[in-house]
Amino acid sequence: MKDRPQNELLPANSPAGQYSLDTVVREAARSQKDVNKLRQYLTLLWASQLRWWKISLPLSCILAIAAGVGAWFTVESTYTANAMLRIQEVAPYVAFKQSENSRSFVNTQLQLFRTRTVVQSALAEVMEKFPETAEKEDPVLWIQLGISARLIGASELVTVKFTDPDPRLAKAVVQSVVDTYMRYQRDYSNQQDEQVIRLLRDEVSDRQVALKTLRQEVTELSKNAIIDRTVDSSSDSSLQSIQNLLIRTEVELTVSNAQLAAVEHQVTTDDQEISPAQLEAMLESSIDYSQMRNELAQADTRLEMLSSRLLSPESSTRYQQAKQQRDELAQAIEEYQKRFQVDGKEAASKYRKVQQEERLTAMRKEIEAKETMRDYLRSRLDEAKEDDVVVSSDKNQDTVAFEIKSRELKQQEAIYNRITDRIMHLQTEKYAPARVALVDPAVKPKEADNSPWAIIVVAVMAAFGAPLGLVFAYEFLMQRVNDSSFIEEQNLEVVGEIATLPRYLPATGSGSGDVEHRHLTLFEESIDHLCNTLRLSSNTAGKQLIAVTSAVSGEGKTHVSAQLAISLAKSVKEPVLLLETDFRAPDIGRMFGFESRQGVLDMFVGGVSLDDVILRDAHPYLDVILAGTQHRDLHGVLHQNDISNLLETVRKRYRYIVIDTPPVLGAGEAVLFACHADASLICARRGYSRMSQVVQVRDRLSRAQANPVGVVLNGVSRRQYIYSYGNYEFVNG
Q: What is the pLDDT of residues 151-188, one digit of tens each?
A: 998 888 999 999 999 999 999 999 999 999 988 888 77
Question: What average pLDDT score do residues 621-646 get?
Answer: 84
Give the rounded distance of the alpha carbon of 385 from its chain centre.
Answer: 72
**Residues forming a β-bridge with 717:** none
Residue scoring higher pLDDT (447 or 403): 447
- Bridge partners of 85, per DSSP, are 158, 438
With cut-offs at 50, 70 and 90, classify the pLDDT of residue 14.
Answer: low
> Which contacts of 7-12 are long-range, i.e. CB under 8 A and separated by 24 or more positions?
none
CB atoms within 10 A of CB 238: 16
Q: Which of 305, 375, 283, 297 is nearest to 329 (CA)?
A: 297
Q: With 90 as the cut, is the pLDDT of residue 315 above it?
A: no
What lies within 8 Å, CB to CB, of 55 at 6+ separation is 467
* Averaged pLDDT, 722-728: 66
Domain regions of the chain by residue span: 80-276+350-440, 479-502+542-716
Residue-level length of the chain: 733
Q: Sorting pLDDT into bands at 50, 70 and 90, what band is 623?
A: very high
CA 474 to chain centre: 24
Do the Cβ atoms of 643 and 634 come closer than 8 Å? no
**In which band, very low, low, confident or very high, does the pLDDT at 340 lie, cut at 50, 70 and 90?**
confident
Q: ∠68-71-76 over CA atoms, to 5°? A: 145
pLDDT tens column, 503-551: 654 444 444 556 667 778 888 888 888 898 888 887 878 889 999 999 9
Q: 475-490 pLDDT, tens per residue?
A: 888 888 887 888 888 8
- Residue 231 is predicted with a pLDDT of 46
> Residue 500 is which amino acid?
T
pLDDT in tens, 358-401: 778 888 888 888 778 777 777 776 766 665 555 444 556 667 77
Confidence of residue 657 (pLDDT cuts 50, 70, 90): very high
Contact 103, 151 (CB under 8 A): no
pTM: 0.52
What is the CATH topology of the domain spanning 479-502+542-716?
Rossmann fold (3.40.50)
Each residue's pLDDT tens digit, 38-48: 877 888 888 78
Name the residue among 685, 695, 689 with its Cα closest to residue 480.
689
Q: Which of 126-140, 183-197, 541-555 has the lowest mean pLDDT?
A: 183-197
Give the integer Cα–Cα distance in Å for 455 and 475. 30
Measured distance CA(363)–CA(368) in Å, rounded = 9
Mean confidence (pLDDT) of the chain: 79
Rounded Cα gap, residues 496 and 713, in angstroms: 6
Work out the average pLDDT over 234-243.
61
Per-residue pLDDT for 238 more than 70?
no
Over residues 348-355, mean pLDDT = 67
Q: Which one has a higher pLDDT value, 347 or 660?
A: 660
DSSP 226: -
Mean pLDDT in residue range 63-79 = 87
CB 715 within 8 A of CB 483: no
List the Cα angle 292/296/299 in 5-degree steps: 140
* Proportion of the chain in helix, strand, coil states, percent, rounded to 5: 65, 10, 25
Confidence at residue 89, expressed as pLDDT on a 0 to 100 scale? 79
Contact indicator for 501, 523 with CB cutoff of 8 Å: yes
Residue from 171, 72, 159 nearest 451 by CA = 72
- Tell me the residue ranges of DSSP E strands in 128-269: 148-151, 157-164
